[in-house]
Amino acid sequence: MKIAGAWLTHSGTQALCAAMQAGGYRIFFVGGCVRNALLDETVGDLDLATDALPDQVMRLAEAAGFKAIPTGIDHGTVTVLAKGVTHEITTFRRDVQTDGRHAVVAYSTDIAQDAARRDFTMNAIYADPAGEVIDPLGGLPDLLARRLRFVGDPALRIREDYLRILRFFRFSASYGDPALGMDADALAACAELADGIDGLSRERIGAEMRKLLSARDPAPALASMAASGVLGHVLTGADPRYLAPLVHLEGNAPARWQRRLVVLGGQDWGDALRLSRAEQGMMARLRDQIGSSLSPAALGWKLGPEFGTDALLARAALLESPLPAQWQEDVSRGAESRFPVMAADLMPQLSGPALGATLAQLESLWLASDLRLSRDELLG
């Protein structure tokens, strides 16, 4: 079986692979780029594996005229920029020691050893520079069936890095077939070892949860996370019951983790998921407006088109109510509107606190009118 795509035949990518092969080394695409190409989905990052040591990768890449950066050289990874395309090249490895967060690795020349240390069988599929697929562990049938399985013993894989618990649910949402259900052994291992999540950095957890919440339909995965006890280690008080109605209401709307997080609920998102201050502020505004009675147009004006849409969809899901007619047009109308009264319209008759209070009162009237009242009507 072969894969194809513009990313594979890109001149910089092929020139880099040719330089490695001319130096006497093997090089293969691996992981997400191969997986997504086989599923006919968009290919993003390019990860490659080689039997060359990192210093040999750097030497050959630079000799070919490319920029090589030792981004993760302690773990065998070199970043190579070739004609505008970024490549992460990692030497074949095998785990020597793990502590649930970091691994001590030894370099290898055996592609099967490299495959054996990966997380899921669908991520342990390789392809040579010509696109020919190499499947050392037999993961291809799993991938084509959209069946997510750990490589080897799920408990061993999880103990190597507890973030794999969250990755299991995220990959189930993104690549699994809901009709198959989740692998029972994997789910049991995630439940048994859920305490290991507590030792992970909140930055890693937050990054993984953003990706999970951005999946096509994260509702079944998050329901399983809650049932297995995993979700409680991630976000105290979170409840996934309203996610399925939300996904239904979203229809073809772009998936946004912010909208889904506010419906998922939970305590202290900022600390639990390491949200930035800007993200925390926007999430607080979104949560506050969901509980308001503002119209779709008013939400669009207060929050902008994206977060106005989020607030309206989240409100409908949480209240289990239908969306208003023409809500999308109204949100857009509100986002494009301008409050017709300026401070100068009330000066010099008003100033200081009285000026601010009057402006706030007029704004409330304008919002209550569905943004219909004109300047003259508000001032008259």
Alpha-carbon distance of 204 to 240, in angstroms, equals 21
Contact 253, 314 (CB under 8 A): no
Alpha-carbon distance of 220 to 113, in angstroms, equals 33
DSSP label at residue 292 = S
E-strand spans in 31-173? 46-50, 67-72, 77-82, 85-91, 93-98, 103-107, 126-127, 133-134
SS3 50: strand
Query: Which residue matches tokens 């240390």?
Result: 117
What local confidence, expressed as pLDDT, does residue 309 receive? 96
Helix (H) or strand (E) holding 13: helix 11-22
pLDDT in 10s for each residue of the chain, 380 residues:
999 999 999 999 999 999 999 999 999 999 999 999 999 999 999 999 999 999 999 999 999 999 999 988 778 999 999 999 999 999 998 876 555 455 567 898 999 999 999 999 999 999 999 999 999 999 999 999 999 999 999 999 999 999 999 999 999 999 999 899 999 999 999 999 999 999 999 999 999 999 999 999 999 999 999 999 999 999 999 999 999 999 999 998 899 999 999 999 998 999 999 999 999 999 999 999 998 989 999 999 999 999 999 999 999 999 999 999 999 999 999 999 999 999 888 898 888 898 889 899 989 999 999 999 999 888 87
Tokens of 289: 């407006």
Q: Among residues 380, 374, 378, which one has the least CA distance to residue 337?
A: 374
Alpha-carbon distance of 362 to 126, in angstroms, equals 64
First and final C-alpha spacing in the chain:
75
Q: Has this prediction a pTM greater than 0.85?
A: yes
Q: Among residues 334, 336, 286, which one has the least CA distance to residue 312?
A: 286
Residue 370, CB-side half-sphere exposure with 13 Å CA sphere: 8
What local confidence, expressed as pLDDT, does residue 97 receive? 56
